[in-house]
């Protein structure tokens, strides 16, 4: 089968499209014929082995796992021992944070998959896993958002942010979104009640008042959380030193601030699938790349200016 592999840490240029052995389905796994992926910042972090402490998990001197890629949507090709809920032909989506999804086939643990809603495109569901799970868990599990509360979402136009705006509205929150000028109309169109363009307003001087602050961009300071919020959730980071400084300051304060890594699980994926099925959340796709251009999709996402999601199509027909 075809797969994008990496033998050393580096930029998108170290990725190679190779013929590798098709995986054999493991126990409690399903073998998925991948139809679409999406690209996430996690892909380039893992590809580059940055921040350096990530190498403790992904390989100290060189990558442990050759195949990159986390988010996928596809068709069940085979089921492993102990799998009861899936059959050959089911349409599924999910997240393999350890890698393996930028390939024609992937053996995936069932606990990080869910069935796709009918009549939804693979490209759309491939855009959901990491960004959708992160938005949902940031707001509902870590942010403990309740109906009628106000939420400030920094980085509201990106993969995580555009799901966060939509999910917060579904849960009955009043949403203030922060993005660049070029994305103001976009975040309004997905439901934001108020929008702050960071090109015009210095967010570190903004004196709004919110129940929950979700920072997907990762440039908010500890003083910003304390000045504007009652609870805070750190999702992204601009630099490790900035995030460590915010968390260190928080050890000296009683402010309820959480930093977390999203967890893939069937239950939360099913919630997201149902929201997509009911048309309550829409996956905005900025660009679809053919699978041969996965390195370009990574370059695109690495700029950190994506509106919605960047998706990869494994069924791309030239011309």
Ligand X SMILES: NC(=O)c1ccc[n+]([C@@H]2O[C@H](COP(=O)([O-])OP(=O)(O)OC[C@H]3O[C@@H](n4cnc5c(N)ncnc54)[C@H](OP(=O)(O)O)[C@@H]3O)[C@@H](O)[C@H]2O)c1
> CB under 8 Å, gap of 24 or more: what pairs does 306-309 form?
306/158, 306/159, 307/157, 307/158, 307/162, 307/183, 307/186, 308/127, 308/157, 308/158, 308/159, 308/162, 308/283, 308/284, 309/38, 309/39, 309/127, 309/131, 309/159, 309/283, 309/284, 309/285
Residue 131 engages ligand X in binding (rule: CB under 6 A)? yes
The residue from 67, 68, 160, 294 that contacts ligand X (CB under 6 A) is: 160
In the bound complex, which residue of the shown chain has the CB atom lying closest to ligand X?
158
Residue 285 engages ligand X in binding (rule: CB under 6 A)? no
**Rounded least distance, CB 23 to ligand X, Å:** 25
Give the list of residues 6+ apart from residue 63 with CB closer than 8 angstroms, or none.
Answer: 6, 7, 8, 9, 46, 49, 99
The residue from 69, 127, 159, 232 that contacts ligand X (CB under 6 A) is: 159
Q: Which residues in 161-180 contact ligand X (CB under 6 A)?
A: 161, 178-180
Q: Which residues in 213-242 contact ligand X (CB under 6 A)?
A: 216-219, 235-237
b/e string for 85-100 if b means 16 or more Cβ within 10 A? Answer: ebeeebbbbbbbbebb
Residue 15 engages ligand X in binding (rule: CB under 6 A)? no
Kindly write out the interface string for residues 290-319 of this chain, putting x where it contacts ligand X by CB under 6 A and - elsewhere. Answer: -----------x--xxxx------------
Residue 29 engages ligand X in binding (rule: CB under 6 A)? no
Q: Which of residues 76 and 298 has its CB atom nearest to ligand X in the complex?
A: 298
The residue from 23, 30, 31, 41 that contacts ligand X (CB under 6 A) is: 41
Compute how many residues bind ligand X; rule: CB under 6 A. 32
Residue 250 engages ligand X in binding (rule: CB under 6 A)? no
DSSP per residue, 221-264: -HHHHHHHEEEEEE---S-HHHHHHHHHHHHTS---EEE-----
Interface with ligand X (CB under 6 A):
40-41, 130-131, 134, 154-155, 157-161, 178-180, 183, 198, 216-219, 235-237, 260-262, 301, 304-307
């Amino acid at each position: 089968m075809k797969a994008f592999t990496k033998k050393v840490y580096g930029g998108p240029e170290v990725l190679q499209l190779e013929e590798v052995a098709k995986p054999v389905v493991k126990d409690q796994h399903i073998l998925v014929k991948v139809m679409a992926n999406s690209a996430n910042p996690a892909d380039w972090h893992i590809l580059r082995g940055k921040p350096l402490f990530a190498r403790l998990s992904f390989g100290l001197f060189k990558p442990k796992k050759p195949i990159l890629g986390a988010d996928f949507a596809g068709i069940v090709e085979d089921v492993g021992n102990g799998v009861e809920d899936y059959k050959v032909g089911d349409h599924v989506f999910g997240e393999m944070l350890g890698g393996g999804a930028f390939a024609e086939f992937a053996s995936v643990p069932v606990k990080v998959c869910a069935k796709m809603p009918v009549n939804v495109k693979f490209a759309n569901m491939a855009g959901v896993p990491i960004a959708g799970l992160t938005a949902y868990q940031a707001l509902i599990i870590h942010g403990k958002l309740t109906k009628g509360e106000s939420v400030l979402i920094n980085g509201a136009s990106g993969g995580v942010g555009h799901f966060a705006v939509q999910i917060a509205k579904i849960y009955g929150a009043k949403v203030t979104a922060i993005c660049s000028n070029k994305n103001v109309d976009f975040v309004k169109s997905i439901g934001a009640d108020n929008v702050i363009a960071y090109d015009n307003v210095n967010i570190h001087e903004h004196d709004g008042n919110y129940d929950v602050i979700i920072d997907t961009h990762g440039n908010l300071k500890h003083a910003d959380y304390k000045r504007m919020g009652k609870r805070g959730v750190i999702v992204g980071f601009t630099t490790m030193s900035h995030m460590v400084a915010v968390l260190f300051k928080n050890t000296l304060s009683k402010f309820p601030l959480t930093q977390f890594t999203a967890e893939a699980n069937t239950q939360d994926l099913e919630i997201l699938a149902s929201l997509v099925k009911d048309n309550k959340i829409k996956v905005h796709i900025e660009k679809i790349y053919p699978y041969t251009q996965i390195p370009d999709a990574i370059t695109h996402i690495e700029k950190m200016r994506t509106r919605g999601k960047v998706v990869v199509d494994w069924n791309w027909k030239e011309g």
